[in-house]
Structure 1
Amino acid sequence: MVDWSGGNDRGAKPVKDAIWACVARAGAAEAPVYLRNRQVAEAWIAELLETELEAGRRVLAGFDFPFGYPRGYAAALTGLDDPLALWDWYAAHVTDEPGANNRFDLAAEINLRFGGKGPFWANGLPGRDIDGLPRTKADYENPFADRRQAETQAKGAFTCWQMAGAGAVGSQVFMGLPVLARLRARLGDAVSVWPFQPLETPVALVEIWPSLTVGAAPEGMIKDAWQVCEVARSVSALAPEVLADILAVEASEEGWIFGLGHEEILRSQPPAPPPLRNDCFALPAGVDWTPVQDALALLRAGLTPVTAVESLPASRATGRIVAEDVRAVRANPPLPNTAVDGYGFAGGRDAGAHVMPLAEGRAAAGDAPRRVPDGMAIRVLTGAALPEGVDTVVLQEDVTLGGGQIAFQGPVRQGANTRNAGEDVHAGEIILEAGSRIGPPQAALLAATGVGDVPVRKPLRVGVLSTGDEVVEAGTPALPGQIYDANRPMLLSMITAFGHEPVDMGRVGDDREALRARLDQAAGRADVIMTSGGASAGDEDHVSALLRAAGAMELWRIAVKPGRPLALGLWSGVPVFGLPGNPVAALVCALIFAHPAMARLAGQAWPVPQGFDVPAAFSKRKKPGRTEFLRARIREGAAEVFGSEGSGRISGLSWADGLVELGPEARDVRPGDRVRYIPFAAFGL
Structure 2
Amino acid sequence: MTAFDTFAMVDWSGGNDTGKRPRKDAIWACVARAGETEAPIYLRNRVVARDWISDLIAAELAAGRLLMLGFDFPFGYPRGFARALTGSDDPLALWDWFEARIEDAPGANNRFDLAGEINRRFGGEGPFWANALARDIDGLPRRKTQYRNPFPDRRAVERLAKGSFTCWQLAGAGAVGSQVMMGLPVLCELRRRFAGQVAVWPFETLDRPVALVEIWPSLTLGAAPAGQIRDAWQVEQVARALSRLDPGALARQLAVEAPEEGWILGVEQMKTEIEPPPLRNDCFALPAGVEWTPVDTALAHLRDRLGPVTSIRTEPVAGALGRVLAADVVAQRSNPPLANSAVDGYGFAGGRPEGKHVLPLAVGRAAAGLAHDGAVPAGQALRILTGAALPEGVDTVILEEDVTLGEDRIAFRGPLKQGANTRMAGEDVAAGQVALRAGRVVTPADMALLSALGVSELSLRDRLRVAVLSTGDELVEPGEPAGPGQIPDANRPMLLSMLHRFGFVPEDMGRVPDDRDSLRARLDAAAERADVILTSGGASAGDEDHVSALLQEAGAMQQWRIAVKPGRPLALGLWRGKPVFGLPGNPVAAMVCTLIFARPALSLLAGAGWTVPQGFEIPAAFEKRKKAGRREYLRARVRDGRVEAFRSEGSGLISGLSWAEGLVELGDGAGHIRPGDPVRFIPFGSFGL
Which of the five TM-score ranges fits, normalised by the shorter chain? 0.5 to 0.7
Retained in 2: the 8 A contact 1:555–1:565? no
> How far is the alpha carbon of 1:33 from its aligned partner?
12
> How far is the alpha carbon of 1:34 from its aligned partner?
7.1
Indicate whether 1:509 and 2:509 are aligned.
no
Q: Which amino acid aligns with 1:391?
A: D
Report matched runs for 1:57-76 at 5 Å.
Answer: none
Question: In structure 1, how many angstroms separate the alpha carbons of the residues matched to 2:85 and 2:502?
Answer: 28
Indicate whether 1:441 and 2:456 are aligned.
no
Instruction: Single out whichever of 389-398 and 620-629 deviates more from structure 2.
Output: 389-398
Match for 1:615 among 610, 616, 619?
Answer: 619
SS in structure 2 at match of 1:351: strand
> How far is the alpha carbon of 1:216 from its aligned partner?
7.4
Residue number in structure 1 paired with 2:342? 339
Report matched runs for 1:41-60 at 5 Å.
Answer: none
Retained in 1: the 8 A contact 2:151–2:304? no
Retained in 2: the 8 A contact 1:281–1:568? no
> How far is the alpha carbon of 1:280 from its aligned partner?
8.5
Match for 1:640 among 641, 644, 663?
Answer: 644
Long gaps (5+) in structure 1: 1-13, 21-30, 36-165, 167-214, 231-266, 268-273
Match for 2:294 among 291, 294, 297?
Answer: 291
SS in structure 2 at match of 1:529: strand
Residue number in structure 2 paired with 1:431? 435
Retained in 1: the 8 A contact 2:533–2:581? yes
Report matched runs for 1:272-671 at 5 Å.
Answer: 277=150, 288-368=291-371, 370=373, 371-671=375-675
Report matched runs for 1:204-215 at 5 Å.
Answer: none
Question: In structure 2, how many angstroms separate the alpha carbons of the residues matched to 1:401 and 1:676?
Answer: 59
> How far is the alpha carbon of 1:496 from its aligned partner?
0.6
Superposed CA deviations along residues 8-53 of structure 1, whole A, max 9, x for unmatched, are: xxxxxx999xxx9xxxxxxxxxx99979xxxxxxxxxxxxxxxxxx
TM (normalized to structure 2)?
0.60
In structure 2, the CA distance between the partners of 1:569 and 1:627, relative to structure 1 (3 Å rule), is same
Indicate whether 1:677 and 2:681 are aligned.
yes
> How far is the alpha carbon of 1:367 from its aligned partner?
2.3
Question: In structure 1, how many angstroms separate the alpha carbons of the residues matched to 2:653 and 2:153?
Answer: 34
In structure 2, the CA distance between the partners of 1:472 and 1:364, relative to structure 1 (3 Å rule), is same
Retained in 1: the 8 A contact 2:151–2:306? no
SS in structure 2 at match of 1:660: strand
Q: Which amino acid aligns with 1:341?
A: D
SS in structure 2 at match of 1:386: coil
Report matched runs for 1:125-136 at 5 Å.
Answer: none
> How far is the alpha carbon of 1:552 from its aligned partner?
1.1
> How far is the alpha carbon of 1:275 from its aligned partner?
11
Q: Which amino acid aligns with 1:353?
A: K
Residue number in structure 2 paired with 1:238? none
SS in structure 2 at match of 1:295: helix
> How far is the alpha carbon of 1:408 from its aligned partner?
2.0
Count of equivalent residues: 438
Retained in 1: the 8 A contact 2:150–2:304? no
Question: In structure 2, how many angstroms separate the alpha carbons of the residues matched to 1:418 and 1:277?
Answer: 50
Question: In structure 2, how many angstroms separate the alpha carbons of the residues matched to 1:33 and 1:524?
Answer: 22
Q: CA RMSD in A?
A: 3.2
Residue number in structure 1 paired with 2:129? none
Retained in 2: the 8 A contact 1:281–1:553? no
Q: Which amino acid aligns with 1:349?
A: R
Question: In structure 2, how many angstroms separate the alpha carbons of the residues matched to 1:477 and 1:277?
Answer: 45
Superposed CA deviations along residues 302-330 of structure 1, whole A, max 9, x for unmatched, are: 11100011122223211111111112112
SS in structure 2 at match of 1:630: strand
> How far is the alpha carbon of 1:401 from its aligned partner?
2.4
In structure 2, the CA distance between the partners of 1:547 and 1:15, relative to structure 1 (3 Å rule), is closer
What is the percent sequence identity of the aligned residues? 64
Q: Which amino acid aligns with 2:371?
A: A
In structure 2, the CA distance between the partners of 1:353 and 1:321, relative to structure 1 (3 Å rule), is same
> How far is the alpha carbon of 1:368 from its aligned partner?
3.2
SS in structure 2 at match of 1:604: coil
Superposed CA deviations along residues 343-388 of structure 1, whole A, max 9, x for unmatched, are: 1111112222222221111110012354112222111000000000
> How far is the alpha carbon of 1:593 from its aligned partner?
0.2
Residue number in structure 2 paired with 1:59? none
Question: In structure 2, how many angstroms separate the alpha carbons of the residues matched to 1:282 and 1:647?
Answer: 37
Question: In structure 1, how many angstroms separate the alpha carbons of the residues matched to 2:430 and 2:81?
Answer: 51
SS in structure 2 at match of 1:557: coil
Q: Which amino acid aligns with 1:587?
A: M
> How far is the alpha carbon of 1:412 from its aligned partner?
2.0
> How far is the alpha carbon of 1:444 from its aligned partner?
1.2
Residue number in structure 2 paired with 1:146? none
Long gaps (5+) in structure 2: 1-79, 89-99, 101-112, 125-137, 139-146, 161-269, 271-289
Q: Which amino acid aligns with 1:323?
A: A
Retained in 2: the 8 A contact 1:544–1:555? no
Question: In structure 1, how many angstroms separate the alpha carbons of the residues matched to 2:537 and 2:464?
Answer: 23
SS in structure 2 at match of 1:298: helix
In structure 2, the CA distance between the partners of 1:531 and 1:358, relative to structure 1 (3 Å rule), is same
Retained in 2: the 8 A contact 1:331–1:425? yes
> How far is the alpha carbon of 1:292 from its aligned partner?
0.9
Retained in 2: the 8 A contact 1:280–1:303? no
Instruction: Single out whichever of 544-553 and 467-476 deviates more from structure 2.
Output: 544-553
Retained in 2: the 8 A contact 1:275–1:306? no
> How far is the alpha carbon of 1:574 from its aligned partner?
0.6
TM (normalized to structure 1)?
0.60
Question: In structure 2, how many angstroms separate the alpha carbons of the residues matched to 1:405 and 1:339?
Answer: 22
Retained in 1: the 8 A contact 2:475–2:488? yes
> How far is the alpha carbon of 1:524 from its aligned partner?
0.6
> How far is the alpha carbon of 1:218 from its aligned partner?
6.1
Retained in 2: the 8 A contact 1:657–1:679? yes
Retained in 2: the 8 A contact 1:614–1:637? yes
In structure 2, the CA distance between the partners of 1:458 and 1:15, relative to structure 1 (3 Å rule), is closer
Retained in 1: the 8 A contact 2:152–2:304? no
